[in-house]
Chain A
Amino acid sequence: MEHIRTPKVENVRLVDGISSKKAALGTLYLTATHVIFVENAPDTRKETWILHSQISTIEKQATTATGCPLLVRCKNFQLLQLVIPQERDCHDVYISLLRLARPVKYEELYCFSFNPKLDREEREQGWMLIDLSEEYKRMGLPNNYWQLSDVNRDYRVCDSYPTQLYVPKSATAHIIVGSSKFRSRRRFPALSYYYKDNHVSICRSSQPLSGFSARCLEDEQMLQAIRKASPGSDFIYVVDTRPKLNAMANRAAGKGYENEDNYSNIKFQFIGIENIHVMRNSLQKMLEVCELKSPSMSDFLWGLENSGWLRHIKAIMDAGIFIAKAVSEEGASVLVHCSDGWDRTAQACSVAGLLLDPHYRTLKGFMVLIEKDWISFGHKFNHRYGNLDGDPREISPVIDQFIECVWQLMEQFPCAFEFNERFLIHIQHHIYSCQFGNFLCNSQKERQELKIQERTYSLWAHLWKNRGDYLNPLFRDDPSQTQGTLHLPTMPCNFMYKTVGLWFERFLRRPEDVDVQIVTWCFTKCCCPL
């Protein structure tokens, strides 16, 4: 509360979007968790609620005759302009929001005050809805080749990994620990997905600390163990999702990639997904394109190309397709890594999972997929999405890109997914909202220390309760697309930028006040109330 300099300002005008000329007059309220704008219009009294955690940037613009404009950019790409009559009020709101949008302690986040009026039992049940041990059982594990390892009990080996991990039976604790010492942040190869049909696996790890010539016997044994765990195949793929140049540069820092000569029976493959900094800049450029005022077709297409956004989306898809093909068509296991193995690796593994396994295309299965490949394997949600004030160079739209990949797949396979676009929009919203505890912190370990499950609620239970809103009416169990592997054509023309569609018909706008419209999925304005 101490950060709110002024809780209420009257006669504020709200302009939604870039080129919209219509402004609504109303009252602005600042609360501990939200910015609330209530329109004066007596018949509607429409309310606009913005979570502090959704605010990306706040910009004070030059004072005009009508007042002082504040430009608020949200993490879901919504853009609001508040015009406040008095300079002093504007400054107070500005200073307050700057602080409110940058919490420094987890306890300041909304999930610690959010109360959906559920009792303790209901909350606990909510957290149990998605159970990864069930998921591994569904994959057919444990079996003769794979076992649950307790090597990471109490996070002793790797603090960004979960405690429960599947590894090949032949990989002893000695091998695992040895291998972990040869991998960045000790993220040793562990199972991400087991493909029952061919008895092959997708494993994930970080890069090896190979430098120019270093070797590690245990790491070599670890990869050997993975290969032996799929007896039908005489080699495994090692997929480095980075561009070759980046991987080579890492060698100078004592990191790098696997040398095919040192590991027996591996086939090494680069995919070329760019790093988080490139992705952050790409998004920035994409947003600039969207904010152009009345761009020409060429401005737009050139901007789209120049941002590289769709190129990156395609690279992630290509990685997923490569892995899915290796597993389902060649019957070969795959080890996937990038540098630390928590961004590009998560993207590639989860896209491959979606392509391979119809279960992940269901509502619950999709929650499981995010829980498994993103949350449990230590994707750094806090750093990437800036939940707490931190290093801006850590922020990057990694999961947004994954969600856009899912959207692209939904466009091409309209009957293959049980859920609809709104489901994706709501998940994306809550990754930033911090209303639920699921996406807090950077690892399982941190969440456990914060006692997230005792102090906050689970988003999955909330979404599951309202699952009726998220069903895709076209989803059926029988058509060819809902079964088995999705075969995705990879020609660039298959990747489209999103446009207005049905959403537009509801508003019947005139051509001249068409505002920033949706470009790729990820730029969708959340027009449905959450």
Chain B
Amino acid sequence: MEFAELIKTPRVDNVVLHRPFYPAVEGTLCLTGHHLILSSRQDNTEELWLLHSNIDAIDKRFVGPLGTIIIKCKDFRIIQLDIPGMEECLNIASSIEALSTLDSITLMYPFFYRPMFEVIEDGWHSFLPEQEFELYSSATSEWRLSYVNKEFAVCPSYPPIVIVPKAIDDEALRKVATFRHGGRFPVLSYYHKKNGMVIMRSGQPLTGTNGRRCKEDEKLINATLRAGKRGYIIDTRPLNVAQQARAKGGGFEQEAHYPQWRRIHKSIERYHILQESLIKLVEACNDQTHNMDRWLSRLEASNWLTHIKEILTTACLAAQCLDREGASILIHGTEGTDSTLQVTSLAQIILEPRSRTIQGFEALIEREWLQAGHPFQQRCAQSAYCNSKQKWESPVFLLFLDCVWQILRQFPCSFEFNENLLIMLFEHAYASQFGTFLGNNESERCKLKLQQKTMSLWSWVNRPSELSKFANPLFEANNLVIWPSVAPQSLQLWEGIFLRWNRSSKYLDEAYEEMVNIIEYNKELQAKVNILRRQLAELETEDGMQESP
């Protein structure tokens, strides 16, 4: 298929663009296969380049011959185009609609994007499982790399290489896979070097109504326990939901068969409940009313912060089991691809200082989200303005980023990165020129040959010029476990995402720059002090030598 077929009108003159924080600008609108471009043809006016894939929904309306298209983006921005001529307007609208909802992944922009920057390190090879495993292997010999899923035959949503207990052979893993949802047998998510305890994750056990059991499964997870120790299973679903899952062949670990494990049920929401929450929240944020009560009640009704609180609480619980109780844990919900990953990754943010560095955080995203098989393609297909109520669209990853932001806000000095990194990841998960967030799992990415045909986001991010934008000037390495507060008073609306287009951040940006200046100045002075101290010490030793010949 040619894009030209979809572009009914490639170019319209005298289009007026309205967008947040800029004065309205008149110019020429051009549609390409992947971009909507508005150029005023004046050097001093910025152009608009908008990826079609960033468009979440469009509205059109007409006043006489003047048509208006309201474009609502997946990053929550709303822009307006005033187009003279009804026919042009209708053509543009239908072209945008078609181009922003392409069915085939291989027609997406990452397959056409040619980078204009020099690649220093190929991001596709930045985070190899073997390297990650090496970080552990110095501390423990109880785990091994398994290639059982090499052809994605055992578990389609797992990567080819996973970390499992050394005592369990691949044959047993194959059996366990048949007992876990989606073949997602328990694998290592995090090894806590401090006490050797671990976080594992999996899909739900397929116990069904007749209480099926699997000896290998029991053996596998028991292999992670020290003699006489108990572990915790955190099921991210409430007990009644887990019980109902048995009717569909799912279920949860029976105490009788897992006597060394204590099961805890939490209730993290999934799917459309989260999507509806996002829709309501963004609606509330876009509400131009000046009524405080209405704002607070809409904020409350969106339940967004309730979800944040529940996810963070569960992550704290997992981290506590590990660090305070000295117990290993297994985490799963139903599939083990959504709430499970929120909890395992946030627990690592709390526990592991490395995951609070830029490299470490990228590795965490790679390991716990991309390779762990979070279905980005499905979850991020639409955002807050979309009307289609598809079950699989859900802001699971955005909630995770929001939770990280909440912790970052509470511990502003403990993270090597700043809020911009989180915002950037949000944007690229929904619309990007890079291939990183395409596909739903490693298997799909392999088939799409993303490594050969597209550029990795990390190739772009990990260049010094980009990295400097994401560096937190307040960062001081903190090797402690950081316990966030989950009290409602401590959780706030993430203004950098949700109010980004509704209010100018000019004054906050100014303050940020000022802070950076102060820190830089302080460093300079510190360096000066060090030089002077050294000179003083030298002079003193010279004096000493002269006095005592």
* A residues whose Cβ falls under 8 Å from a Cβ of B: 290, 294-302, 304-305, 308, 310-311, 314, 318, 412-416, 473-474, 476, 479-481, 489-497, 499-502, 504-505, 508-511, 514, 517-519
Whether A493 lies near B409 (C-beta < 8 A) is: no
B492 interface contact, C-beta 8 A: yes
- The interface residues of chain B lying within 8 Å CB-to-CB of A481 are 507, 510
Distance in Å: Cβ of B302 to nearest Cβ of chain A: 10
Chain B residues in the interface with A (C-beta under 8 A): 285, 288-297, 299-300, 303, 305-306, 308-309, 313, 316, 320, 324, 409-414, 480, 482-493, 495, 499, 502-504, 506-508, 510-511, 514-515, 518
- For the complex, what is the distance from the CA of A293 to the CA of B350, rounded to whole Å? 24
B72 CB, nearest partner CB in chain A, Å: 19
Whether A505 contacts B502 by the Cβ 8 Å rule is no
Whether B507 pairs with A413 at a CB distance below 8 angstroms is yes
A298, B488: Cα distance in complex, Å: 8
Interchain CB contact under 8 A, A305 and B293: yes
The answer to whether B490 and A304 have CB atoms under 8 Å apart is no
- Give the contacting residue for B499; candidates A474, A493, A499; CB below 8 A: A493
Q: Are B490 and A500 in contact (CB under 8 A)?
A: yes
Q: Please tell me if the beta carbons of B514 and A493 are within 8 angstroms of each other in the complex.
A: no
CA of A314 to CA of B489 in the docked complex: distance in angstroms?
19
Chain A residues near B292: list those with CB within 8 A: 305, 310-311, 314, 492, 495
| Cβ-defined partner of B488 (8 Å) among A299, A479, A489 | A299
Determine the distance from Cα of A318 to Cα of B482 in the docked complex, in whole angstroms. 40
Structural contact, A493 and B489, CB atoms closer than 8 A: no
Contact among A297, A305, A412 with B507 in the assembled complex (CB-CB below 8 Å)? A412
Contacts of B411 in A (CB 8 A): 504-505
- Residue in A318, A480, A492, A505 whose beta carbon sits within 8 Å of that of B414 in the complex: A505
Complex CA–CA separation, A410 to B308 (angstroms): 27
Cβ-defined contact, B490 with A499, below 8 A:
yes
Q: Is the CB of B305 within 8 A of A301?
A: yes
- Contact check, A505 vs B412: say whether CB atoms are below 8 A apart: yes
The reply to whether B489 and A499 contact each other, CB–CB distance below 8 Å, is yes
Cβ of B510 and Cβ of A510 under 8 Å apart? no
CB distance from A125 to the nearest CB of B (A): 33
- Rounded to whole Å, the gap between the CB of A22 and the closest CB of chain B is 15
Given A493-B285, A508-B482, decide whether A297 and B410 contact each other with a Cβ distance below 8 A. no
Chain B residues with CB below 8 A from A295, complex form: 487-488
Given contacts A298-B306, A473-B518, A491-B288, contact A415 B488 (CB under 8 A): no
Picked from A301, A476, A511, the residue with its CB within 8 Å of the CB of B313 is: A511
Minimum Cβ distance to chain B for residue A129 (Å): 29
Inter-chain contact A311/B503, CB cutoff 8 Å: no
Residue of A nearest to B491 (CB): A297
Tell me the complex Cα distance, A496–B285, Å: 13
Set of chain B residues within 8 Å of A494, measured between Cβ atoms? 503
Residues A298 and B300 in contact, CB atoms below 8 Å apart: yes
Whole-angstrom CA separation of A395 from B198 in the bound complex:
56
- With A493-B493, A519-B489 given, is the CB distance from A511 to B316 under 8 Å? yes
- Are B485 and A297 in contact, with the CB atoms below 8 A? no
Measured in the bound complex, the distance between the Cα atoms of B511 and A480 in whole Å is: 11
Which of A305, A510, A517 lies in contact with B489, CB distance below 8 A? A517
> Known contacts A499-B489, A514-B486; is A297 also within 8 Å of B503 by CB?
no
Q: Is B290 touching A493 in the complex (CB atoms < 8 A)?
A: no
Q: In the complex the two chains form, what is the Cα distance from A481 to B510 in whole Å?
A: 9
Give CA–CA (A528, B288) in the complex, Å.
39
With the chains together, A301 CA to B507 CA distance in Å? 27
Contact of B487 among A302, A304, A492, A517 (CB under 8 A): A517
Contacts A499-B490, A514-B486 given: A505-B413 contact, CB under 8 Å? yes
| The one of B296, B414, B484 that contacts A301, using a Cβ cutoff of 8 Å | B296
Given the contacts A297-B309, A500-B490, A514 and B485 also touching, CB distance less than 8 Å: yes
Known: A296-B488, A297-B306, A493-B499. A414 touches B507 (CB 8 A): yes
Q: Is the CB of A310 within 8 A of B296?
A: yes
Q: B488 and A491: CB pair below 8 A?
A: no
Beyond known contacts A491-B503, A517-B489, A518-B489: 6 more, CB 8 A cutoff: A294-B487, A298-B300, A304-B296, A305-B296, A414-B508, A496-B492
Q: In the complex, A156 Cα to B305 Cα: how many Å?
A: 58
Residues of A near B324 (CB, < 8 A) are 510
Chain B residues with Cβ under 8 A from A479's Cβ? 510, 514
Partner of A493, one of B293, B295, B303, B507: B295
| Chain A contacts for B294, CB-based, 8 A | 492
Name the residue on A nearest B485 (C-beta): A514
**From residue B211, how far is it (CB to closest CB) to chain A in Å?**
34
Contacts of A412 in B (CB 8 A): 507
Q: Name A503's closest neighbour in chain B (CB-CB).
A: B410
| Cβ contacts under 8 Å, A492 to chain B | 289-292, 294-296
B507: chain A residues within 8 A (beta carbon) = 412-416, 480-481
Q: Could you say which of B292, B297, B495 has the most chain A C-beta atoms within 10 Å of its C-beta?
A: B292
Sample (6) of A-B pairs whose CB atoms are under 8 Å apart: A295-B488, A297-B306, A310-B292, A415-B511, A500-B490, A511-B484
Instruction: Specify which chain B residues have a CB less than 8 angstroms from the CB of A305 in the assembled complex.
Output: 292-293, 296-297, 300
Which 6 residue pairs of A and B lie closest in terms of their CB atoms, listed nearest first?
A300-B488, A414-B511, A492-B295, A301-B300, A305-B296, A311-B292
* Cβ contacts under 8 Å, A296 to chain B: 306, 309, 488
CB of A434 to closest CB in B, whole Å: 30
Q: How far is the CA of A491 from the CA of B501 in the complex (A)?
A: 13
The answer on a CB contact under 8 Å between A480 and B489 is no
CA distance A497 to B295 in the complex (A): 13
Given the complex of chains A and B, what is the CA–CA distance between A492 and B491 in angstroms? 17
Closest to B489 in A: A517
CA distance in complex: A412, B495 (Å): 12
CA distance A511 to B514 in the complex (A): 33
In whole angstroms, what is the CA distance A401 to B292 when docked? Answer: 16
Give the distance in Å from the alpha carbon of A429 to the alpha carbon of B373 in the complex: 54
Bound form: Cα–Cα A175–B486 in Å: 61
Complex: A489 Cα to B504 Cα, angstroms: 9
Nearest chain A CB to B268 CB, angstrom units? 14
- Residue in A294, A308, A473, A504 whose beta carbon sits within 8 Å of that of B293 in the complex: A308
Chain A residues near B488 (CB, 8 Å)? Answer: 295-297, 299-301
List the A side residues contacting B413 at CB < 8 Å. Answer: 505
Q: Contact at B514–A300, with CB atoms within 8 Å?
A: no
* Identity of the chain B residue whose Cβ is nearest the Cβ of A505 in the assembled complex: B411
User: How far, in whole Å, are A81 and B313 apart by their CA atoms in the complex?
Assistant: 28
Among the interface residues B299, B493, B518, which one has the most CB atoms of the partner chain A within 10 A?
B299
A308, B291: Cα distance in complex, Å: 11
Answer whether A511 and B410 are a contact pair too, CB < 8 Å, given A492-B295, A495-B292: no
Q: Given the complex, which residues of A lie within 8 Å of B409, measured CB to CB? A: 499, 501
* In the bound complex, CA of A511 to CA of B314 (Å): 11
Contact of A517 with B414 at beta-carbon distance under 8 Å, contacts A491-B288, A508-B480 already known:
no
* A500 in contact with B508 (CB, 8 Å): no
Enumerate chain A residues within 8 angstroms of B485, measured Cβ to Cβ. 500, 504, 509, 511, 514, 517
Q: Using CB atoms, name the residue of chain A closest to B412.
A: A502
B294 to nearest A CB, angstroms? Answer: 8
A304 proximity list for chain B (CB < 8 A): 296
A399 to B316, CA, bound (A): 39
Complex interface: chain A residues within 8 A of B480 (CB): 508
> Which residues in A have their C-beta under 8 angstroms from that of B511?
414-415, 474
Taken together as a complex, chains A and B put the C-alpha atoms of A480 and B506 apart, in Å, by 10
The chain B residue with its CB closest to the CB of A318 is B290
Q: Complex: how many Å from CA A299 to CA B300?
A: 9
A454 to chain B, nearest CB (A): 44
B320 lies within 8 A of A510 (CB): yes
Closest Cβ of chain A to B288, distance in Å, is: 7
How far apart are B168's CB and chain A's nearest CB, in angstroms? 34
- In whole angstroms, how far apart are the Cα atoms of A481 and B508 in the complex? 10
B411 to chain A: closest residue by CB: A505
Q: Is the CB of B313 within 8 A of A500?
A: no
Contacts of A301 in B (CB 8 A): 296-297, 299-300, 305, 488
The minimal Cβ–Cβ distance linking A77 to chain B, given in whole angstroms, is 12
Chain A: minimal CB distance from B546 (Å): 42
A505 contact from B296, B410, B487, Cβ within 8 A? B410
B306 touches A415 (CB 8 A): no
